[in-house]
Amino acid sequence: MLKPSVLTQLAEIVGPREVIRDPEELVVYECDAYTLERDGPLAVVFPRDSEQVSRVVRCLHAEGIPFVARGAGTGLSGGCIPAGGGVIIGLNKMNRILEVDYRNRRVVVEPGVVNLWVTQAVASRGFLYAPDPSSQMSCTIGGNVAENSGGPHTLKYGVTTNHVLGLEIVLPDGDRIEIGGRAEGYPGYDLTGLLVGSEGTFGICTRATMRIIRRPQTYRTLLGIFETVDDATNTVSGVIASGILPAALEMMDQLIIQAVEAAFHFGFPTDAKAVLIIELDGLEAGIDRQVGRIREVCVQNGAREVRLAASEEERLALWASRKKAFGAVGRLSPNYCTQDGVIPRTRLPEMLRLIQRVSETYGIRIANVFHAGDGNLHPILLYDERDRDQVRRTLKASGEILKACIAMGGSITGEHGVGIEKVSYMPLMFSPEDLGVMASLKKIFNPQDLLNPHKIFPDSRTCMEPRGPGRQAPV
């Protein structure tokens, strides 16, 4: 419970209507899109500007109350769960695009701006904001900055960190600082690079300056249809080796194809074992030669059919199906959990076979929809949370897949973050010395650990195996 005096102070800063304290309303804020673990906030406050964020933080800091920033709550690793209790600072009402500068290809936005709004705001002038996570219709820029979000088109265009030039940050003691800026390459340590992807543990982003890019002149979007998963994964390697860099290279397996087809009726062949979405973009001149080459690679690797999106509408429908794939999974199972491991992309055939084996060993169905070109897997483990044994097997199967990723020189997370979910895997990927440096950095920014505690690194609260659903607080 928050002391009444603190509630009064918060209400004075943001206005009484911008403070949520009713337990029934707070339930919504117990978790993000990773639902295996939950913890309720003491209150949620919605500041309107960075000055208010700073004052809220100053107040909580003075009282020694933990706090965490939250955008749309679409995160997939529990990054904005108030672990152990605390106040959530909701940034949704700071949602203005402050400036668009086409000549310098910059936008300045507040953290609550939804990812897709940026592209929508600049589309009429032929520009776009490149990072395009699947949740881009609802996820916010602040969350993207915290998680260093990716998306299908990162294969060619990079992730959030490659597009952020400067940030205004409220530090955990309430101080406001500017890092980076509107120009490129300020002298000094690259704090912008360090802040992006720090999962909201260094400071709260209250303003971001980002690059926009010219929309490519043209797109060619191919759908490769395969009889076996192996054929599809071999094609991925073939495409990467072909001397052509696609803008996106995505894979969906049969379970996903069927779920997506049932939900959106795009026209995916539900008997295929896998499909690849391969998108090329760039100048019209010469692109069809590249399309021809990609077709050849698909066919050489046993594609049953290669379709080319005939129109922009068809292309957009294809992408809509892909990006909503996670939503369609609800048709397959009452609950699911998504993994985010990364491996060298040439080892996909091996890895997909391993996932199949894990699925059989633990009796857990696993669907695959992922950024194949980057080697960024998203195995979706299907389970029913009412069955405790299934939950246990799901967690074990997840762990086995992540350990295999590490063994291949990869990572436990490509774009979803460690959050609370993958805390216990960090020591498998990093040595005590590596983690020591990270811990020292955290101590510099967040010395009392009031901002988003118990995330990323194992500590006494989180180093135990998650108990799974029904767990109301971290162990």
Partner 1 sequence: MIESLATRIDPCAILDPSACERFAVEGRRPSVAVRPGTVEEVSRVLRWARDQRFGVVPWGNGTLMHLGFPPERYDLALQLDRLNRVVDYPSADMTITVQAGLCLGSLQRILGEHRQYLPIDPPNAGQATIGGLIAANAGGPRRHSEGTLRDMVIGIQVVQADGSVVKGGSRVVKNVAGYDLCKLYTGSFGTLGVIIETTLKLRLLPEIEASVWCEVESPAEAESVVAAVLDSELCPVFLEYLNGAGARAVGPAECHGWALGRPAVLAGLDGPLEAAQWQKDRLRAILESRRARPGLELADDVQKSVRDRLFQFRSPPGHALVAKANVLSSEVTRFIERAEQAVSAAGIPVEAQAHAASGIVYLRSRAAPPCEAQVSAVQVWAKLAAEAGGCLVMERSDPEVKARLDVWGPPRSDFALQKAIKQMLDPHRVLNPGRFIGRL
Residue 187 is a binding residue for partner 1 (CB under 8 A): yes
287-300 vs 229-241: helix crossing angle, rounded to 10 = 140
> Which span sits near partner 1 by CB under 8 A: 46-54, 58-66, 278-286, 317-325?
278-286
The alpha carbon of 146 is separated from its chain's Cα centroid by a whole number of angstroms, namely: 10
Binding mask 389-428 for partner 1 (x = CB under 8 A): --------------------xxxxxxxxxx---x---x--
Give the C-alpha separation, 169 to 190, whole Å.
Answer: 14
Phi, psi dihedrals of residue 264, rounded to the nearest 5°: -120, -10
> Which span sits near partner 1 by CB under 8 A: 239-247, 314-322, 379-387, 459-467?
239-247
> Which span sits near partner 1 by CB under 8 A: 55-63, 221-229, 241-249, 296-304?
241-249
Q: Scan residues 46-75 and list those touching partner 1 (CB under 8 A).
A: none
DSSP 424: G
Residue 184 is a binding residue for partner 1 (CB under 8 A): yes
Phi, psi dihedrals of residue 389, rounded to the nearest 5°: -70, -40
| DSSP string of 433-470, one letter each residue | HHHHHHHHHHHHH-TT--BSTT-SS--TTTSSPP--TT
Gyration radius of the chain over CA positions? 22
Place of tokens 């069927």: 258
Binding mask 10-29 for partner 1 (x = CB under 8 A): --------------------
CA max distance for the chain: 70
Which is nearer to partner 1, 12 or 101 (by Cβ)?
101
> Which span sits near partner 1 by CB under 8 A: 142-150, 252-260, 265-273, 465-473?
142-150
Least distance to partner 1 from the beta carbon of 187, Å? 5
Least distance to partner 1 from the beta carbon of 123, Å? 15
Which is nearer to partner 1, 308 or 435 (by Cβ)?
435
Q: Give the residue, chosen from 285, 311, 389, 460, that forms a contact with partner 1 under the rule CB under 8 A.
A: 285
H or E element that contains 204:
strand 204-211
Least distance to partner 1 from the beta carbon of 196, Å? 7
Q: Scan residues 338-397 and list those touching partner 1 (CB under 8 A).
A: 342-346, 371, 374-376
Least distance to partner 1 from the beta carbon of 375, Å? 6
| DSSP string of 104-170, one letter each residue | TTEEEE-TTSBHHHHHHHHGGGTEE-----TTTTT-BHHHHHHHT---TTHHHH--GGGTEEEEEEE
Least distance to partner 1 from the beta carbon of 118, Å? 18
The percent of the chain in helix, strand and coil, each rounded to the nearest 5, is: 40, 20, 40
Give the C-alpha separation, 57 to 67, whole Å.
Answer: 8
Residue 162 is a binding residue for partner 1 (CB under 8 A): yes
Binding mask 97-136 for partner 1 (x = CB under 8 A): -----xxxx--------------------x----------
